[in-house]
Structure 1
Amino acid sequence: MKLLIRNGHVLDPFTGLDGISDVLVEDSRIVKVAEGIQETADQTIDASGSYVMPGFIDLHVHLRDPGLTHKETLETGGRAAARGGVTTMCAMPNTKPVTDMKEMVADLHRRAAEESPVHVIQLGAVTKGEMGEELSDIKGMAEAGCHAISEDGKSVMDASLYRKAMRIAKENGISVFAHCEDINMVEGGVMNAGAKAEELGVKGISNAVEDVIVARDILLAKETGVRLHLCHCSTADSVKMIAAAKKEGLPVTGEVCPHHFILSTDDIKENNGQYKMNPPLRSPEDVEALREGLKNGIMDVISTDHAPHAEEEKNLPMEKAFFGIVGLETSACLTYTELVEKGVLTPMQMAEKMSYNPAQILGLQDKGSISAGKTADIVVFDPAAEYRIDKNTFLSKGKNTPFDGYPVKGEVLYTIVDGAIVYAK
């Protein structure tokens, strides 16, 4: 099976290619990237006026499968990912039951290959049941291809236990993905601490709740040598600490979600559960620091923290609503609209932060690039399309987003996984 993508503006962070070119795919691999390829193909895509980028890799997704499939499944999450240009996603382990054993990781990978149109990497929990008391089978889960361990949704508060987990992860060549939150400091908070929380009469969550664990985890990574990836960073001090870690040469990376680099507490006009997420939307100063961190390369990755919920779980005041926002179908258009169009990132940097850097963090040397020999995971993205986000069109079961009706520019036209078109506009 041959697929020819013609006349697209190819963006390849690996080779540095940034210009009009054709891409020839045979079976699951890219075989040639050049201008004016003269080949007979089984299928041809005219990508004129569009960017051709390596498929996006989302390091932070909640698929809710098993156990919470009224919110999302491998199949619905996979279709949502394909629509958003995501060709590989990392599924967090806070499922029901928690994914904390080799057999569970292996079974989820088997099911995902059958049910999801995109690649799924199932991460493993740090501790059994995410209870923070006893380590999971980290070695076994690494053998099953988990690529990273994470206690996402909470932090491992026992630093000694966490250090042991980091050492085992290091020994087995996998990363640690950290949700940085000192649970003892949350104190019932539901949004960022400050004037807006006081105005709405709700309890706040201070920046220190995140920052103290960022500092701790960086120091533990320094001691153990493990690759540490800091999830959904939301504060200015997180950016500063990651910058300091990089300056010291530590294997530390950080991600930012679109809701954190776009929205602030100023955008919360009422006590509305759609604005409740963890970590919370922060101050305009934090938002600016995150954007600057993305621009100057301190923050490596744009991920979604896609966290679908049923409508009855989100259409509530913040005190009662679940934490979380969906993002698989909106991350590309929001990134292009708010960062590329506004000159914060170049189109190449968008591809770097949404594909190449995540591939490097996961050790996926065959992904994150549009070059000969690489896996044919590709997205064709139209930067000229203008529309408003409509949650009712989402393929995800989750419709929980404050971006409903938000004007955006940029749309995924095709998503290609292993050389096969899995989504076409």
Structure 2
Amino acid sequence: MSALVIRNGHLIDPAAGVDAPKDILLKDGKVADIAGPGKLKGVNGAETLDATGLVVAPGLIDIHVHLREPGQGHKETIATGTAAAAAGGFTAVAAMPNTMPVNDSVDITRWMQSPDRGASVRVFPIAAATRGSKGETINDFAALKSAGAVAVTDDGHPILKDSAMRDTLAAAARVGLSVIQHAEDTRLTQGASMNAGPVAFKLGLRGMPAEAESGLVERDIRLVTELRDARPHLHVAHTSTAGAIAAVRQARRNGLRVTCEVAPHHFLLIDEHVGQYNTNFKMNPPLRSAADRDAMIEAILDGVVDAIATDHAPHATHEKEVEFERAPNGITGLETALGLCLRYLHREWKMPLGRVLSLLSAQPAAVLGLKGRGTLAVGSAADAVIFDSKAEWTYRAADTKSKSRNTPFDGWTMQGRVHWTVCEGRVAYALK
């Protein structure tokens, strides 16, 4: 038996409707008891964390990360990526399948979850929807789910063919898996490296039109409508355009199972931040216009957005230190997400702290059906983040736990300092 007590903290658990001072007993990887300060029983000999003056919340869940293993360990490993996750307050991450080889098999799905990978937090693999993520032949979703896959996607590549996407939605619905779409009509983005608009024109770069995203989202929603009786679940990854958000909003009004996520860089940055070809501001989807950025903020504040996800995409320094058009897409994000959300969503834009935490925990868990996660109710997984919600600190990329430092947020002031991250009852991160 292993036991851990979190004392004197202020518990904010949106899923359970709790916002009050509480002590929490974690035992054998589960939440065993919750009581008012000093009222827990049966805690003799348990390890204690003193959370005086701190917020205790369900461990954060990132449903969109790239851990790069197998095959690209020079960028990140499951061990280093999950260490960064723990430092950022995350206790679970969902790993995308665009590895080398692509995770389209039971063997790779199981390999990613092996204790030999040295993960600091729980890894939930997301498997490829089609063989090799080529958008043609769908995989054996039942077998992948049995092996631990929590959703399917060809992230990094869209499923362009109507017939392939329809088959994917129908087959995933039969086994109870979500379909995550990387919404990009690559027929419109060939050779493009940033958002289409005045900034791209000034820099002499080919731009990706917003319609490449919104058009595919609209197509996917049409397919979900056609399959309405099967109740497929479409989740739009890294939503970045006003048109895509509008389509999701309407789909929800029509009673369809359509959800979406937004990354911090898409509600904080715009294409002008690219500056003089700074590759740490290059990602896919690209940074969009100010109007698109404002649409992301509005959709988060009014509840259309289901989850904040980082799209953590590490790259080695030498890969980013090339011409803008040749540099790979992606930035790191696991260590900055909470600090950015608290600084901007909570402090600047006055979103209640509980709602911010829900976007980072309970709601992501609901999107992927991760039962017993995203809450600290008795019987749930003993996953918690303990942080000082008022503390300001400066993020330094040089201090990252990740293998890579490709972030646009180096030197930014954050709010909300993580003191401990507890995953399944053990301390996965402690502030030094």
Same fold, TM-score > 0.5, yes or no: yes
Equivalent position of 1:33 in the other structure:
34
- In structure 2, the partner of 1:357 is 363
Report which stretch shifted further, 15-24 or 178-187.
Answer: 15-24
> Match for 1:257: what amino acid?
A
**CA deviation map 1:138-194 (0-9, x unaligned):** 221122121100000010111101211111111111110111000000031111111
C-alpha separation between the residues in 1 aligned to 2:347 and 2:75? 33
The correspondence for 2:208, drawn from 180, 205, 209, is 205
Query: Aligned letter for 1:58?
Result: D
- Partner in structure 2 of residue 15 of structure 1: 16
Q: Does structure 2 conserve the Cα–Cα contact (< 8 Å) formed by 1:291 and 1:344?
A: no
- Alignment partner of 1:422 out of 412, 418, 428: 428
Partner of 1:90: 94
Matched residue, 2:345 = 339
CA apart distance, 1:27? 2.0
Which residue does the alignment assign to 1:186?
189
Equivalent position of 2:81 in the other structure: 77
Shift of 1:200: 1.3
**Shift in Å at residue 110 of structure 1?**
2.2
The CA deviation at 1:293 is 0.5
Alignment map for 1:249-328 (pairs within 5 Å): 249-328=255-334
After TM superposition, the structure 1 = structure 2 runs for residues 234-253 of structure 1, keeping only pairs within 5 Å, are 234-253=240-259
1:229 pairs with 2:266 = no
Q: 1:283 to 1:41 in 2, by over 3 A?
A: farther
1:58 aligns with 2:62: yes
Alignment partners' CA distance in 1, 2:154 and 2:65: 13
Q: 1:155 aligns with which of 151, 158, 161?
A: 158
1:97-128 per-position Cα deviation (integer Å, ceiling 9, x unaligned): 1111122212222256x510111011111111
Q: Could you list the runs of 5+ residues in structure 2 that have no partner in the other structure? A: none
Q: In the alignment, which residue of structure 1 is the partner of 2:136? A: 133
- For residues 180-219 of structure 1, the C-alpha deviation after alignment (integer angstroms, 9 at most, x for no partner) is 0000000311111111111111111111010011111122
TM-score (norm. length: structure 2): 0.95
The count of residues paired between Structure 1 and Structure 2 equals 424
Matched-pair contact (CA < 8 Å) for 1:235–1:286 = yes
Residue of 210, 218, 221 corresponding to 2:221: 218
Deviation at 1:41, TM superposition (A): 4.7
Change (3 A) 1:85 1:67: same
Return the match for 2:104 from 100, 123, 137: 100
Flag structure 1 segments of 5+ consecutive residues without an equivalent: none
Task: Give, in angstroms, the shift of residue 345 of structure 1.
Answer: 2.0
**How far apart, in 1, do the equivalents of 2:367 and 2:138 lie?**
23
Distance 2:98 2:291 in 1: 31
Deviations 1:23-54 (A, max 9, x none): 11122111222212244352111212221111
Secondary structure of 2:172's counterpart equals: helix
Range that drifts further, 157-166 or 216-225: 216-225
Secondary structure of the residue that 1:120 maps to in structure 2? strand
- 2:8 and 2:321 map into 1 onto residues whose CA distance is 45
Q: Could you tell me which amino acid in structure 1 is paired with residue 162 of structure 2?
A: A
SS at match of 1:399: coil
Residue 166 in structure 1 maps to residue 172 in structure 2: no
Q: Give the structure-1-normalised TM-score.
A: 0.97
Give 3-state SS (helix, strand or coil) of 1:96's partner: coil
How far the C-alpha of 1:222 sits from its partner, in A, is 2.5
Deviation at 1:344, TM superposition (A): 4.3
SS class of match (2:15): coil
